[in-house]
Chains A and B, each alone.
Chain A
Amino acid sequence: MTNTIQILSIEKTGKESSLQKEHNNKSIKIIDGYFFSTNLDDQKFTKISKLISNDVSQTILTKKNVNKVLSSYSNFNWVVEIKFLPGVTDNIATTVKEIIKDNLKSSFKSFELGSTKIILIKGRKEDITKISKNEANPLIQTIKIYPFKKYLNNFKKNQFKIEKVKLPKKKYSKKEINLNISDHQLSLIGKLGIEENDKSRRGTLGLDLESLKAIRNYFSTIKRKPTDVEIETLAQTWSEHCKHKIFSAKIDDIHEGIFKKYIKGATEKIIQLRKDNFCVSLFTDNAGGIEFNKDWIICHKVETHNTPSALDPFGGAITGIVGVNRDCLGFGKGAKPIANTYSYYLADPNKKYQLYRQKNKDPMLPANFIAKGIISGVRVGGNCSGIPTPQGNVYFDDRFAGKPLVFCGTVGIIPKKIKGKLSHKKKANPGDIILMAGGRVGKDGIHGATFSSEELDPNSPVSAVQIGDPITQKKMSDVIIRELRDENLYSSITDNGAGGLSSSIGEMAKESGGFIVNLEKVPLKYNGLYPWEIWVSESQERMTLAVPPANVKKVIKRFNARGVEATIIGKFIKKEKAIVKYNKTEILNLDMEFLHEGYPKLNLKTSFPKIKKEKKKIIKNSSLIDKLHKLLSSPNIVSKEFIATQYDHEVQATSIIKPLQGEGRVFGNATAIKPLFDDEKSIALSQAAYPQYAETNPYDMAGCSIDTAYKNLIVSGANSKKIAILDNFCWCSSDEPDRLYQLKEAAKACYDYAVAYQTPFISGKDSMFNDFKGFDKTGKSVKISIPPTLLISSIGVVDKISHLTKMTPDDGDILLVLGNTRNELQDSVYFKIIGYEKSKNPVVNSKDALRTYRNFEKANKLRIINSAIGIDLGGIGIAVIKMAIASKKGLTIDLKLKNKISVDQFLFSETQSRILVSMKKNKLVNFKKIFKGSDYTIIGKCTGSDVVEFKDNKKIMRGKISDFAKSYKQSIKGL
């Protein structure tokens, strides 16, 4: 009899090698453990072990062999046992349960099991403690360290224990909340949550006093007390995350708010000017949709998952990516996800920031743990879902030490018409059944929506952490996209994200009028959840569908046949009422109008901030070649190849411009996919953000982001008339007037540049409080705010494969810089790494930029351009070196400079709207015709040698391409 199955690899695994290397210890072995809630007899033990192990590569440990087998590796003396905390998603355990159920059929009754990672070492206790800190996160895992002898003893005596969710057996009785209390008491409800009978608090609701007063007024008009479920629901629905109150607030003299005036306003203006069918579905749905070709629509959405990723980087990031996948599944009648995008803004993984959420306790995870966890979370989420992840970037700055920014995006595709009906239109009809499909509901992510709107502080609840399960979602997604959608079996669909059912059903019911939900019908992961928890839980991998009663049986059958659960939990009604029942007791009954619009509108004021310019630095005298090496190996320029190769960008066989470009594999600014087998049209993707420019001038910062995201697509070969953009504002301290001023300025730039470029915003999201309030290692209180960050994602249609460009010049090509170069080194990479030159921040002149872009597009279509690369971080200097590395071909650059600009200013200025191109000499005549009146400079030629040379009047400076490549491909310290 035993209650554990433990398996180890006979040969050293890749993971073991990397652990051994990292900790400089050759005696490290990892065991995959499975702990059962019940004892297995010998027969079951043998059967199950065989099912979950591999005879050839693994050994199964038994009471008899454990000592002998393990001692053949080393004299281990310490063990760390890492398991998930009760209730945390354990995907491996789910699979093992399924394997057992599938293959042993009825011979095994109900049981629980947990997966466990057991690491053995020969070393000191400090060593194992260090390993455990790098391998486990105490927020989601239990970590037990004990001597090897005890491990053997546990083995013999069946003392491995699984962690089960133990919730008090409680009977639910309807809870009414008295709001006729003092303002102070009222604020406590908002800040700490509803008080339980034992005086404990449920966790923050994120409701301010004004909102709570609005709720009190509503209930005094309808002459009753609110229930706990009603308050929880209002907190979710009115959260900053769901309602974007800051973006819709009156701000200074802008009555309609910055979203309406600047973001939506820009798009409306553009639609009015364009008069075409490019924009299909904007702002209203889960993602924004544009026309791809005459039969298909593509949609794009980018989300952030910052706070969860700070607490559990892997879980936060995987949930971020599979979550935004569902936004595509929930676009119109359901779009198929065809590409993922990512952008991470992280602290330096090589630094120890030592921050604490509470004085001397509750430490922030180390920066490298956060970075690694985020990168692998998106890897597992994307790869396991079979969605390519071609496009992304990473940016490092100390100011992300308190909160990393994790942007996850997805592109989807859907036929314009399904069974003759427009696919982007959906409407839940009165009488339609509310069907919940996918995963079950647990305590995961409770208070996620309300909490991501709050600053990260000691009261941040831990149950806000969730871990995605991409396989459950993939199974569900396959049924929806392949089977149900094209038969038009449901009338509407949306995803369960922030706020869970309360949000998804609440939003969808706007289409029909209202809803009635019976919460006791919702399938649970474990018993003991309160109704309000079921209602707001953010358990992942669930979609909500509105299904006409006649189709319900069929739909459920289809889901079940593919191993997916689907449950009827209520119905949509015509009456504009939100009604929730639990075992027939009505626990929520609100007017839809109040639910969605009853929150008090904010009235914000801004004030001009003090501009915090970085202090003057001394330039160390070094050669141009040295400077190039320094910039190339700096974290924000160095190649991100190690991410590109671990993210599957080839799946679906659509990758056409890959993340690594040229023989020399340079990490590109834009990538392209060709989503349909029978149309050569492609989709180009890019993104840009300039947090480093934000404090100097937020208006120009936003202008630069839009310009770069747009430029990258133009350079890749996209049709300028078919480019759309998405805005993701990640701000800090958005209750402070100077931060709001920066926000207003950035939003204003969004309007100006989007309208100038005629690129509509099609979707967006904001996250307004990315601040860390806590303590440093000395116990001093600190606040770390991220620099205001506006990520602009761009998506464009490339009409023909032949329009797609490359960044590799050929021998004899001449090199030109399109666009004017100004002395704009302020806040540049050069400024940060090398030093200070008196300079300005980059400012985008949209007229000049557009002239360059239009001409480039024309020249590219006429095949005048042979290769091209957008100039951004590190300026012309870095763009030139990237071209040389990518093509493995030498270049000669002539530095005869005009306009009193210095060599460094010319080479490293980050002036926007410039493109480095190469072309055959004989194309120059035609090029000049097109570019007449437009700024360009011939700067050199492609020699095909193995060096890059920079010549000025006096001397030649030379560097080998292979040396540059070495600097560019250096690994990032700490990762």
Chain B
Amino acid sequence: MNVLVLSGYGINCENETLHAFEVVGFKGKIVHINDLIQNPKQLNNYQVFAIPGGFSYGDDTGSGNAMAKKIMTNLYDQLINFSLKDKLIIGICNGCQILINLGLVPSLNKKDPEVALIENKSGSYECRWVDVKVSNNKSPWLENISTLNLPVAHQEGQFMIPINLLKTIKANNLIGLQYINHHKKLAKGQFPFNPNGSKDDIAALTNQNGNVLAMMPHPERAFYHYHIPNWQSKTLKKFGDGYKIFMNAKKFFT
């Protein structure tokens, strides 16, 4: 099992993302986008393609946009092919924004981006821990998970989805994660449970096969128990909730 973790131009969560994959049993490599463009064939050696969080191009012209355009011009077909195979793709935070801008998620019309991630309703950057629940979704990334406690850290995490498309997304079960409140009920847009005002409390979307997951929260930052806020007051397991996402990737291939 091999994972390619993308880097370059301001992506910055590649080390911890690779680490999480390695701990669950993957072999992996951090590959600079320019090296991948030079030699796209190397994608054949990998089963998982991960776009980590960060600030590619400083979020200028919209978060994830510039990197998505670079990929679209240079690697689009290869990535589409990758997504059509029995392989997995994950985009976390900035990676999520990139996947959405590429249209790889929800990928209903296969051509243009259909969904946008816009600035948080609060107007400010939000670094905080949230609870999310897995919606009725068949994605291998999310199997057997009910809720997760994970951190978000973004300025543009509000899913904007045209009404008709939202219906289709729901009908196809493409909502991956939704923000919930302290009572485990949907946050209904209420801050800070829903940190960005996202429509229908959406925190993650998948494509129709479920093998491509675009999520705003950071599972790699909730990997060990000591990542969890106030862990000293809690009964401890070795891992935090983020671990489950990476384990699911492993299970998919074993």
- A384 vs B59: C-alpha distance when bound (angstroms): 8
Partner of B9, one of A57, A471, A650, A660: A471
A674 near B226 with CB under 8 A, answer yes
A56 near B116 with CB under 8 A, answer yes
- Contact partners of B53 in chain A: CB under 8 A: 651
A677 near B19 with CB under 8 A, answer yes
| Contacts of A31-66 to chain B: CB distance below 8 A | 32, 51-58
- A96 vs B122: C-alpha distance when bound (angstroms): 26
- A562 vs B162: C-alpha distance when bound (angstroms): 38
Give min CB distance, A13 to chain B, whole Å.
Answer: 5
Give min CB distance, B232 to chain A, whole Å.
Answer: 4
- A91 vs B66: C-alpha distance when bound (angstroms): 13
Residue of A nearest to B58 (CB): A471
B70: CB under 8 A from chain A?
yes
Interface string of A456-490 (1 = CB under 8 A from B): 00000000000001110011001000000000000
B46: CB under 8 A from chain A?
no
A384 near B116 with CB under 8 A, answer no
B13: CB under 8 A from chain A?
yes
Partner of A663, one of B16, B69, B126, B230: B230
Residue of A nearest to B10 (CB): A471
B121 near A98 with CB under 8 A, answer no
- Contact partners of A14 in chain B: CB under 8 A: 119-124
Assuming the A-B contacts A14-B119, A563-B34, A651-B13, are A645 and B73 also in contact, with contact meaning beta carbons closer than 8 angstroms in the complex? no
- The interface stretch among A73-81, A116-124, A801-809 is A801-809
- Contact partners of A92 in chain B: CB under 8 A: 58, 60-61
Assuming the A-B contacts A56-B115, A98-B66, A677-B19, are A648 and B57 also in contact, with contact meaning beta carbons closer than 8 angstroms in the complex? no
B65 near A52 with CB under 8 A, answer yes
- A102 vs B10: C-alpha distance when bound (angstroms): 16
B167: CB under 8 A from chain A?
no
A9: CB under 8 A from chain B?
yes
- A95 vs B60: C-alpha distance when bound (angstroms): 7
B127 near A661 with CB under 8 A, answer no
B250: CB under 8 A from chain A?
no
**Max chain B CB contacts within 10 Å: which of A379, A383, A470?**
A383
Partner of A808, one of B57, B59, B233: B233
- Contact partners of B119 in chain A: CB under 8 A: 9, 13-15
**Max chain A CB contacts within 10 Å: which of B7, B35, B160, B232?**
B232
Assuming the A-B contacts A14-B120, A56-B116, A656-B227, are A384 and B162 also in contact, with contact meaning beta carbons closer than 8 angstroms in the complex? no
Partner of B69, one of A91, A99, A379: A99
- A14 vs B196: C-alpha distance when bound (angstroms): 10
Give min CB distance, B214 to chain A, whole Å.
Answer: 14
Residue of B nearest to A647 (CB): B127
B16 near A653 with CB under 8 A, answer yes
Give min CB distance, B62 to chain A, whole Å.
Answer: 5
- A663 vs B129: C-alpha distance when bound (angstroms): 11
B227 near A386 with CB under 8 A, answer no
Give min CB distance, B122 to chain A, whole Å.
Answer: 6
Give min CB distance, B102 to chain A, whole Å.
Answer: 12
A646 near B12 with CB under 8 A, answer no
B54: CB under 8 A from chain A?
yes
Assuming the A-B contacts A647-B127, A653-B220, A806-B233, are A9 and B118 also in contact, with contact meaning beta carbons closer than 8 angstroms in the complex? yes
| Contacts of B112-145 to chain A: CB distance below 8 A | 112-116, 118-128
A778: CB under 8 A from chain B?
no
Residue of B nearest to A336 (CB): B15
Give min CB distance, A603 to chain B, whole Å.
Answer: 49
A-B contact count (CB 8 A): 171
B151: CB under 8 A from chain A?
yes
A806 near B230 with CB under 8 A, answer yes
- Contact partners of B66 in chain A: CB under 8 A: 95, 98-99
A662: CB under 8 A from chain B?
yes
Give min CB distance, A658 to chain B, whole Å.
Answer: 6
- Contact partners of B29 in chain A: CB under 8 A: none
A478 near B230 with CB under 8 A, answer no
Give min CB distance, B28 to chain A, whole Å.
Answer: 14
A385: CB under 8 A from chain B?
yes
- Contact partners of A56 in chain B: CB under 8 A: 113-116, 160, 162
| Contacts of A540-556 to chain B: CB distance below 8 A | none
- Contact partners of A645 in chain B: CB under 8 A: 124-128
A648 near B10 with CB under 8 A, answer no
A71: CB under 8 A from chain B?
no
**Max chain A CB contacts within 10 Å: which of B16, B61, B65, B124?**
B61
Assuming the A-B contacts A14-B123, A102-B73, A663-B230, are A475 and B8 also in contact, with contact meaning beta carbons closer than 8 angstroms in the complex? yes
Q: What is the size, in residues, of chain B's interface with A at 8 Å between Cβ atoms?
A: 58
A662 near B61 with CB under 8 A, answer no
- Contact partners of B1 in chain A: CB under 8 A: none
Give min CB distance, A851 to chain B, whole Å.
Answer: 26
Give min CB distance, B132 to chain A, whole Å.
Answer: 16
- Contact partners of A563 in chain B: CB under 8 A: 8-9, 34
The bracket for how many chain A residues form the interface is: 35 or more
Interface string of A615-657 (1 = CB under 8 A from B): 0000000000000000000000000001011111111110110
**Max chain B CB contacts within 10 Å: which of A386, A646, A655?**
A386
Give min CB distance, B220 to chain A, whole Å.
Answer: 6
Partner of B12, one of A18, A386, A649, A801: A386
- Contact partners of B223 in chain A: CB under 8 A: 653
Partner of A662, one of B35, B160, B220, B230: B230
A804 near B232 with CB under 8 A, answer yes
- Contact partners of A53 in chain B: CB under 8 A: 61-62, 65
Assuming the A-B contacts A51-B69, A648-B153, A652-B16, are A96 and B227 also in contact, with contact meaning beta carbons closer than 8 angstroms in the complex? no
Residue of A nearest to B197 (CB): A14
Assuming the A-B contacts A13-B123, A52-B65, A663-B230, are A386 and B115 also in contact, with contact meaning beta carbons closer than 8 angstroms in the complex? no
- A806 vs B32: C-alpha distance when bound (angstroms): 40
Assuming the A-B contacts A13-B119, A51-B69, A471-B55, are A91 and B60 also in contact, with contact meaning beta carbons closer than 8 angstroms in the complex? yes
A126: CB under 8 A from chain B?
no
A17: CB under 8 A from chain B?
yes
- Contact partners of A647 in chain B: CB under 8 A: 125, 127
A198: CB under 8 A from chain B?
no
A384 near B55 with CB under 8 A, answer yes
B113 near A54 with CB under 8 A, answer yes
- A563 vs B56: C-alpha distance when bound (angstroms): 13
A806 near B123 with CB under 8 A, answer no
- A95 vs B163: C-alpha distance when bound (angstroms): 32
- A53 vs B64: C-alpha distance when bound (angstroms): 11
- Contact partners of B160 in chain A: CB under 8 A: 11, 56-57
- A648 vs B221: C-alpha distance when bound (angstroms): 12
Give min CB distance, B141 to chain A, whole Å.
Answer: 19
B118 near A653 with CB under 8 A, answer no
- Contact partners of A11 in chain B: CB under 8 A: 118, 160
A350: CB under 8 A from chain B?
no
A103: CB under 8 A from chain B?
yes
- A674 vs B230: C-alpha distance when bound (angstroms): 15
- Contact partners of B72 in chain A: CB under 8 A: 103
Partner of B153, one of A95, A651, A804: A651
B244: CB under 8 A from chain A?
no
Q: Can you identify 7 A-B contacts, CB atoms within 8 angstroms?
A: A14-B123, A54-B65, A55-B112, A102-B70, A470-B10, A650-B227, A661-B230
Beyond the given A58-B116, A103-B69, A808-B233, please list 9 additional residue pairs across the A-B interface where CB-CB is below 8 A. Answer: A15-B123, A18-B123, A95-B60, A383-B55, A383-B153, A471-B10, A475-B9, A562-B8, A662-B230
Closest 9 interchain pairs by CB? A386-B12, A14-B123, A57-B116, A95-B60, A653-B16, A56-B116, A384-B55, A646-B125, A14-B119
Please give the residue numbers on chain B whose beta carbons come within 8 Å of chain A beta carbons, in ascending order. Answer: 7-10, 12-13, 15-16, 19, 32, 34-35, 53-55, 57-62, 65-66, 69-70, 72-73, 101, 112-116, 118-128, 151, 153, 160, 162, 218, 220-221, 223, 226-227, 229-230, 232-233
Please give the residue numbers on chain A whose beta carbons come within 8 Å of chain B beta carbons, in ascending order. Answer: 9, 11, 13-15, 17-18, 32, 51-58, 91-92, 94-96, 98-99, 102-103, 379, 383-386, 469-471, 474-475, 478, 561-563, 642, 644-653, 655-656, 658, 660-663, 674, 677, 801, 804-806, 808, 810
